[in-house]
Amino acid sequence: MTPTEIKPWSATDANDEFGAPDFGASDEMHSPVVQPVAAPEGWRAALKRLQVGPRWALLPLCLSLAIEIRSIQAPSLTASAGWSVLTICLQLATAGFLAVSLWSQRQQMREMIINVHRRQDRSGAGGFPSAESPTPAGLEPLERELWTHLERLDGAVGRGRDEGVEFGYRLASGEAKNLLAVLDQVSEAVLVVDAFERVSAANAAASDMLRCTPAQALRTALPEAVREESLAERISAMHRQPLGARRSLEYVIGERTNELTVCKIAAHAGRTGIMEASARDKEEGHLLVALMRDISREKDAAKSAGNFVSHVAHELRTPLTSLKAYVELLVDGEAEDERTRRQYYEIIQSETDRAARLIDNILNIARIESGRVRVSKKPVALAEIVREAVDVMRPQAEAKSIDLRHQPAPVIHQVMADRDMAYEAVLNLVSNAVKYTPNGGRVDVRIIVNEQDRTITAEVADTGVGIPAADLPHMFEKFFRVKANKDVAKGTGLGLNLVRNIVETVHGGRVGLASEPGKGSTFSITLNLI
């Protein structure tokens, strides 16, 4: 709030009667009592000099009164017309003198007021005409009164103004405090530095960047406030940039990677500016705003996404290598006999399938994780799905002389599920069981219903190689393969991850695992009954 110059009279310069160079003309606007006869300039000045006062009117008045009294006492003496004319003239003169004296008084008042005004107006607006004469002695007390009053008024106005400013300041600084409180809630670190390298503002999150508390950092020089010299340097480098410039870079503090953004903005000059420091620098009107955001998680996520991609690529190269190699052998005629050739063809086929499965698994997992998978859930009997999966795996189990047992369950128990996905999950478990069970082993597939919890569990127990305890927590992770069992069977390392995604992410169920190395494993899927 900029204080405005308050004039004692509320008229503006343009319409102010004191601005009018011609006294006579404005008289007519402001004197309701008497309308003096407009006299030419010279006459007015002469009249003023004469100091025509009310006293002047007394003489002709007395004279005419005397004539009137005389005519009452001796009517014959004043009977002639001459005496009447004289009387009239005398009365006219009385009126005239009265009028002039009134006018004159008014002029004097105006002169006095101009004087007062000129005294009051130190800055001396050029428009004020100079008083043509000093204040008449009779008006001096009035002038003094007026002047005192004006000074008091001025004082009051000044105080009012100051209070207004202070109020405005408190209001603004209240606002400033509010804003800072808001900034304290921002999780990004905010550090403001003025053109003189002093910390202008720092929010709570900025304590990561500082050596001291944000409150202590205020008005401290940047290099002293900030934790690391390199940080101070990077921020200071922005001083030389043009207004509006903004730079971002990665800045590591300890184990956390941060994104440091520094911008140069124009500062708001003004006494009631929020940043006290900046209010004083009117010459260098800029502020540096340093923001710091922890991007460790983003980087980790990006890294793990990058890892996933490179892992996938890596996994795909393996079947491709086999394919390329065996095809080349065949093309070069290096398969000596039909049996070898048949063997090579089969390898090519299985590796192709492996690559295709890998791609399918990856896509499915990626779709589920990104929520882009099309799920169509319907009431489905889990028992049916299990039966199907067992039927499909039966030939492979028989080829390994594995006893694949399946306990049929009533189809009455249903779950709300996407049929294909549920099938995929169950098939994965049964297939793993068969894969990782040596010849002559056993795989039991059961369905367990829990009426109390309203859940249904499909359990696949094998007498296979089992899983070491240390590996159990990682079994459902992407690409995880148990080292100890890598010779037992080929795997993409994604099957169980897909199962978990299907069961837990898509259907809100649970996967379970128990295992003992050398004895076997039991995997389970639990879903909610409808």
Cα 25 to Cα 19, 38, 103, 111, 155, distances in angstroms: 12, 9, 13, 16, 34
Q: At its nearest, how many Å lie between other proteins and the CB of residue 314? A: 5
* Residue 328 engages other proteins in binding (rule: CB under 8 A): yes
Q: Using CB under 8 A, which of 332, 337, 338, 451 touches other proteins?
A: 332
State in angstroms the smallest separation of the CB of 328 from other proteins: 5
**HEC profile for 230-285?**
HHHHHHHHHHHCCCCCEEEEEEEECCEEEEEEEEEEECCCCCCCCCHHHHHCCCCC
Minimum Å distance from CB 282 to other proteins? Answer: 55
Task: Candidates 80-88, 481-489, 496-504, 521-529: pick the segment binding other proteins (CB under 8 A).
Answer: 481-489
Closest CB 348 distance from other proteins, rounded Å: 10
Nearest CB to other proteins, comparing residues 280 and 317: 317
359 contacts other proteins (rule: CB under 8 A): no
Interface residues for other proteins in 307-326 (CB under 8 A)? Answer: 310, 313-314, 317-318, 320-326
Q: CB within 8 A of 46, min separation 6: which ones?
A: none
- Per CB under 8 A, 351 contacts other proteins: yes
Our CB check for other proteins shows the closer of 171 and 484 to be 484
Of residues 250 and 328, the one with the C-beta less far from other proteins: 328
**Which CB, 116 or 312, lies closer to other proteins?**
312
Question: Which is nearer to other proteins, 319 or 464 (by Cβ)?
Answer: 319
CB of 516 to other proteins, least distance (A): 22
Contact residues for 44 (Cβ-Cβ < 8 A; gap 6+) = 24
CB contact at 8 A, 409 and 447? yes
Q: Which of 34, 86, 40, 47 is nearest to 65 (CA)?
A: 86
Quick one: DSSP state of residue 501? I
Contact residue for other proteins among 86, 347, 489, 513 (CB under 8 A):
347
Structure tokens at 289: 């705003």
Main-chain phi, psi angles of 459, to 5 degrees: -120, 135
Instruction: Fill in the amino acid letter for 487.
Output: D
Tokens, residue 403: 């006893």
Nearer Cβ to other proteins (241/318): 318
Q: Are strands 377-381 and 256-266 parallel, antiparallel or unpaired?
A: unpaired
Taking the least distance from each CB to other proteins, the nearer of 131 and 347 is: 347
* Near other proteins by CB under 8 A: residue from 65, 93, 221, 329: 329
* Interstrand relation of 455-462 and 256-266 (parallel, antiparallel or unpaired): unpaired
The CA-atom distances, in angstroms, between 37 and each of 30, 40, 54, 110, 469 are: 15, 10, 17, 18, 121
Which SS3 state, helix, strand or coil, does residue 520 take? strand
Tokens read off for 229: 């010299």
Is the torsion defined by CA of 470, 476, 479, 483 positive or negative?
Answer: positive
- What is d(CA 305, CA 159) in angstroms, rounded to the nearest whole number? 67
> Whole-number minimum distance, CB 336 to other proteins, in Å?
9
What is the dihedral sign for C-alpha 157, 160, 164, 169?
positive
| Minimum CB distance to other proteins, residue 351 (Å) | 7
Residue 182 CB, nearest approach to other proteins (Å) = 47
* Minimum distance from residue 268 beta carbon to other proteins (Å): 51
Least Å distance between CB 475 and other proteins?
17
Q: Does 353 bind other proteins (CB under 8 A)?
A: no
Stretch in the footprint of other proteins (CB under 8 A) among 9-17, 181-189, 194-202, 483-491: 483-491
Dihedral sign of CA atoms 104, 110, 113, 119 in order: negative
- Please tell me whether residue 431 binds other proteins under the rule CB under 8 A: no
Indicate whether 486 belongs to the interface with other proteins (CB under 8 A).
Answer: yes
In sign, the C-alpha dihedral spanning 376, 381, 385, 388 is: negative
CB nearer other proteins, residue 205 or residue 355:
355
485 or 524, CB closer to other proteins?
485
Distance, in Å, from the CA atom of 129 to the CA atom of 513, rounded to the nearest integer, reads: 104
- To other proteins, the closest distance from the beta carbon of 439 in angstroms equals 18
SS3 content of the chain, % helix, strand, coil (to 5): 55, 15, 30
CA 425 to chain centroid: 46
Q: How many residues touch other proteins (CB under 8 A)?
A: 21
**436 is a contact residue toward other proteins (CB under 8 A):** no
Name the minimum Å distance from CB 374 to other proteins.
Answer: 33
By the rule CB under 8 A, 334 interacts with other proteins: yes
Instruction: Specify the residue, 109 or 323, whose C-beta has the smaller distance to other proteins.
Output: 323
User: 221 or 316: whose CB is closer to other proteins?
Assistant: 316
The DSSP output letter for 135 is P
Judged by beta carbon, residue 124 or residue 333, the one nearer other proteins is 333
Nearer to other proteins, 261 or 307 (CB): 307
CA atoms of 187 and 270, how far apart (whole Å): 29
Q: Is residue 470 near other proteins by the rule CB under 8 A?
A: no
Cβ proximity to other proteins, 303 vs 314, nearer residue: 314
Q: How far is the CB of 340 from other proteins (least distance, A)?
A: 9
User: Minimal distance in Å, beta carbon 467 to other proteins?
Assistant: 16
Segment 96 to 125, residues that bind other proteins, using CB under 8 A: none
Residues that bind other proteins (CB under 8 A): 310, 313-314, 317-318, 320-326, 328-329, 332, 334, 347, 351, 483, 486-487
